[in-house]
Structure 1
Amino acid sequence: MPRMTMLSLVLLLVFHVSASWAASASVYDNFLQCLNTNTNPSSTQLSNIIYAENNPSYSSVLRAYIRNSRFNTTSTPKPVLIVTPSASSHVQASVVCAKQLGIQLRIRSGGHDYEGLSYWSDQTFIVLDMFNLRTVTVDIEDSSVWVQAGATLGELYYRISEKSKVHGFPAGVCPTVGIGGHISGGGYGNMLRKFGLAVDNVLDAQIVDAKGRLLDRKAMGEDLFWAIKGGGGGSFGVIVAYKLKLVSVPETVTVFQAARHWKRTHRCCFEVARGGANHR
């Protein structure tokens, strides 16, 4: 009897996996066909930027940018497809096709997300992973830089330092954080007091809206431009790139952390407060 029960469980698992792969394959075919219809002919083989669950590289591509281990488990809902655009036209077509197929789109840029919202959902979903869009173009004469959403903070800082030792950008200190998500969320960093948040230094942007249109600051209007600077990643469209204002910095910048023991700090603050009260 136990042997029959075990056999039934194995068969059920095999059936479930097979059904899942079949559904994924169906979505893959429909999505690929839609992508070909809505993308201008290019040298990129579109089938090479889409990963279904039966693709041998699917798991490695999915896990590459999962930064929160809580969502890197077998029970975590998985996307039916992972799309890795290498051009803005791929992003535009992906938005249109996901909308046509009625499938939720999750946008991932770096994967530093406490709730894992860029790579899991309780609904059928596709991950649009921006890691191929990571070009950084620095213009020292203009004191600006165009950086694509899939680049990381470390890559941005490195490219700036290649061109100048006295220019920088006020953003976070973790080098693997993605530009798209960091700036969409505000962009807190160590130069905050002098230069403000990262979003305070955004000059322009490229975004794909829900209709699949690629818009810059002029085309999107000031209201939407304001909203994408801190309104959260994926809330108003897919950020493709930001134009950022470089700031002047000394050639050597020192950053440090001061650790405080809670009990000692609490006692110190209590004594200061008590002393202040006695002097009233």
Structure 2
Amino acid sequence: MKPLTCLPSLFSLLLFILVSLHLSPSWAASDSVYNTFLQCLTHRTQPSDHISNIVYSQANSSFTKVLTSYLRNHRFISSSTRKPLIIVTPTRESHVQAAILCSKDLGVHLKIQSGGHDYEGLSYVSDDEFIILDIFNLRSIEVDVKVETAWVQAGATLGELYFRIWEKSKVHGFPAGVCHTVGIGGHLSSGGYGNMLRKYSLSVDNILDARIVDVQGRIQDRKAMGEDLFWAIIGGGGASFGVILAYQIKLVSVPETVTVFRIQKTLDQNATDLVYKWQSMAPSTDPGLFMRLVLQPAASKTEKGQQTIGASVVALFLGNSDQLLTITDKEFPELGLKKENCTEISWIESVLWWSFDNGTIPPPETLLSRKFPTVFFKSKSDYVQTPMAKPDLEWLCKKMIEQGKVVLQFNPLGGRMGEIPASATPFPHRAGNLIKIQYYVGWNEEDPEVGKKYLAQIRRLYSYMTPFVSKNPRSAILNYRDLDIGTTTNGNNSYEEGRVYGVKYFKDNFERLVKVKTAVDPNNFFRNEQSIPTLPK
């Protein structure tokens, strides 16, 4: 496709003059911004019919519905939260090109959203005036089983991808997350963590090609963009470099029968012994076995009215239950797994089992739903490189009971993850790490004081874990955005500010990401509060 950059420069100048004359510095006249932006889109898009149907101003009766439909963390939905001036919902790739160029012409900050699961709302919240480019309409998926690949647009969800693969093949899948409403664009460009990573590693390790719109409005595939930019957008976060349109992914083989199970024990049922053994066994066992460990406050089964900690092992095994029991009986007898605890199902049913987690397995078509419950939440992350001693685990459980509601997910690494060099993609947390931790606290009340209480709980527990996790830097995962570890104002000190959180997400890969960013977006058009900065001028 020919880049949409050949319009006369006079048009851009006229736009600038128009905006300067008719819009106040605060952009209070949002209708004027809308009219100017719409005029620009119309000129830059061919055919230009129905452009007004994809652009929503604050005055549009559908604005609030469009804005909130894909905002998954309701911490960022309130009357005091700054709203975008405009929401653009492209239905064609050319709309994306035009939206970038028009935002540049108007000098308005552009935020890019693909699924809305951004933990800190960076794709839909801003301190300055901004426009949201929401690509949820770009959701086509083309699966080619013969060559075991698929092209998936960035606005599709994981559930839609899994379903379309299942339609074509019952023995293929893709290693990505377990929440089916997560958007492809953000998930894959930031790493893509799922329950097949010990066998097939991360999503980014199974990406073959990509299509991106750069800051000049050009659509580029891997060959056109070059290996440096391609490397950056398979783990470095796409929103720092352009707008991801689609990824070509490599499908992976899954057996016709897989096995899932859930085992729960409390402290008075020797859960500490289970957790202690899990730390060394789960990252080193058969790569086809993924066992997530969840620690959360629970009611004691032996002391009425007392709080304790429940330890749940939730697992996917790429094989049948007999094969699984051969492993666990030998390597993990503390688990006490029996055949009656195991459920043999197809891979697509395991996706549903993990995603819905309500005791029943709904039909595969359920994965096409984009409904998501209203929830307020905060997450943080860590990496563990040395198993915790039993006394330390007992102390941690005591602290969790004191905090009251924070949940810890311990996810085992090892397997294929440890075989890929840290520099192969921007995602560096591979060999040397045993476990990834996700801290999570959620609540339903809109009361700000309630939110402050839970935020304080998760931050205290994170602080308590300092002696037991990675150091210099204390690492974090980009898929779980956390503004507590640093932010940038994207001003003169953006490099210094960005390095604070950048080395935690990317370690030694941060400097290469900065060089790529500086080369492809030197004026830092694509930015957010935790984006990759440019080199100091």
Same fold (TM over 0.5): yes
Which amino acid counterpart does residue 73 of structure 1 have in structure 2? S
Q: Deviations over 1:228-260 (max 9, x none)?
A: 001113111000000000011112333445556
CA contact (8 A) 1:135 1:151 kept: yes
Which residue in the other structure is 1:129 paired with? Answer: 134
What SS class does the counterpart of residue 112 from structure 2 fall into? strand
Which residue in the other structure is 1:29 paired with? Answer: 35
In structure 2, the CA distance between the partners of 1:223 and 1:25, relative to structure 1 (3 Å rule), is same
What SS class does the counterpart of residue 182 from structure 1 fall into? helix
Aligned with 2:156 (options 143, 151, 154): 151
Percent identity of equivalent pairs: 64
2:193 is aligned with 1:165: no
Which residue in the other structure is 1:12 paired with? Answer: none
Matches within 5 A, 1:185-196: 185-196=190-201
What SS class does the counterpart of residue 234 from structure 1 fall into? helix
Aligned with 2:241 (options 212, 236, 242): 236
Q: Deviations over 1:82-135 (max 9, x none)?
A: 000001100001011101111111111110011000111001000000110000
2:212 is aligned with 1:204: no
Which amino acid counterpart does residue 75 of structure 2 have in structure 1? R
Q: How far did 1:72 drift?
A: 1.1
CA contact (8 A) 1:21 1:54 kept: no
Which residue in the other structure is 2:109 paired with? Answer: 104
In structure 2, the CA distance between the partners of 1:265 and 1:164, relative to structure 1 (3 Å rule), is same
What SS class does the counterpart of residue 65 from structure 1 fall into? coil
Matches within 5 A, 1:77-96: 77-96=82-101
What SS class does the counterpart of residue 240 from structure 2 fall into? coil
What SS class does the counterpart of residue 207 from structure 1 fall into? strand
In structure 2, the CA distance between the partners of 1:26 and 1:112, relative to structure 1 (3 Å rule), is same
Which amino acid counterpart does residue 34 of structure 2 have in structure 1? Y
Query: 2 CA distance for matches of 1:156 and 1:267?
Result: 39
Question: Which runs of 4 or more aligned residues in structure 1 lie more than 2 Å from their structure 2 counterparts after TM superposition?
Answer: 252-273
CA contact (8 A) 2:27 2:33 kept: no
CA contact (8 A) 1:110 1:150 kept: yes
CA contact (8 A) 2:208 2:249 kept: yes
Q: Which moved more, 1:246-255 or 1:194-203?
A: 246-255
In structure 2, the CA distance between the partners of 1:262 and 1:70, relative to structure 1 (3 Å rule), is farther
Which amino acid counterpart does residue 50 of structure 2 have in structure 1? Q
Aligned pair count reads 253
Which residue in the other structure is 1:67 paired with? Answer: 72
In structure 2, the CA distance between the partners of 1:111 and 1:258, relative to structure 1 (3 Å rule), is farther
Query: 2 CA distance for matches of 1:256 and 1:58?
Result: 43
Which residue in the other structure is 1:16 paired with? Answer: none
In structure 2, the CA distance between the partners of 1:166 and 1:23, relative to structure 1 (3 Å rule), is same
TM-score, normalised relative to structure 1: 0.85
In structure 2, the CA distance between the partners of 1:271 and 1:89, relative to structure 1 (3 Å rule), is closer
TM-score, normalised relative to structure 2: 0.45
Which amino acid counterpart does residue 100 of structure 2 have in structure 1? V
